[in-house]
C-alpha cells in the first residue's frame, strides 16, 4: 500500500477563501481539516491580501499537503470585482507554489461534476455530497465545502492520470 497523499484544495475569495485538506489512500478519501480565511473588510486591500497569503502558508505548514488544487474563477460582469478576486486567487496559487507544491487548477464545472455528477450543481448539492463523501468533516460552510470539493476533484484527476500512464 502506498503512503497517503495529502491534497489542499482552495476556493479563492477576497472576503472568504475556503480551504480543505484531504488524504487519499488508494481509492479512499479521508478528511484531514478544513476552514475559511476571512480577513476583515475594514482592512486596507494590501493587508487583506497579506493575511490571506500568510494564513494559506500557515495551513500548508500545519497540514503538510503534497499537492495543491485551486478553483479557477468564473468571469464576473464587474471588472473591478474580477480584478480583486484575481488578486486573491494569486495568493492561492503563490502560497502553495512557494512551499514547493505542484498546483493544479480546475474549473468550477469540473469540480462540481467530480463531486456531484453534474457541472450545474448548486452550493447546497456540493455541501450535501461533501457530507456523504467525507462524513468526518461534519457540517461545513459553503466556502470550505467548495475547497474540499476542489481537493476531491484533484484526487479523481490524479487517479485518472495514473491509470492513463
Residues designated as active site: 11, 71, 143
Short-list 143, 121, 4, 134, CA closest to 71: 143
Mention every residue, 6+ apart, whose C-beta is less than 8 A from residue 52.
14, 17, 37, 39, 88, 91, 92
Residue pair 111/71 in contact by the 8 Å Cβ criterion = yes
Amino acid at each position: 500500500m502506498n503512503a497517503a497523499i495529502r491534497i489542499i484544495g482552495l476556493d479563492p475569495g477576497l472576503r472568504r477563501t475556503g480551504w480543505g485538506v484531504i488524504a487519499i489512500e488508494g481509492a479512499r478519501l479521508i478528511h484531514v481539516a478544513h476552514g475559511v480565511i476571512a480577513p476583515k473588510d475594514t482592512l486596507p486591500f494590501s493587508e487583506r491580501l497579506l493575511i490571506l497569503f500568510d494564513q494559506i502558508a500557515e495551513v500548508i505548514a500545519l497540514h503538510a499537503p503534497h499537492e495543491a488544487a485551486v478553483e479557477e474563477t468564473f468571469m464576473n460582469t464587474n471588472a473591478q470585482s474580477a480584478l480583486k478576486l484575481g488578486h486573491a486567487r494569486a495568493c492561492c496559487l503563490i502560497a502553495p507554489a512557494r512551499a514547493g507544491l505542484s498546483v493544479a487548477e480546475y474549473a468550477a464545472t469540473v469540480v462540481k461534476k467530480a463531486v456531484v455528477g453534474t457541472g450545474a450543481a448548486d452550493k447546497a448539492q456540493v455541501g450535501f455530497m461533501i457530507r456523504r463523501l467525507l462524513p468526518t468533516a461534519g457540517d461545513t460552510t459553503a466556502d470550505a465545502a467548495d475547497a474540499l470539493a476542489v481537493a476531491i476533484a484533484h484526487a479523481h484527476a490524479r487517479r485518472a492520470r495514473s491509470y492513463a500512464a
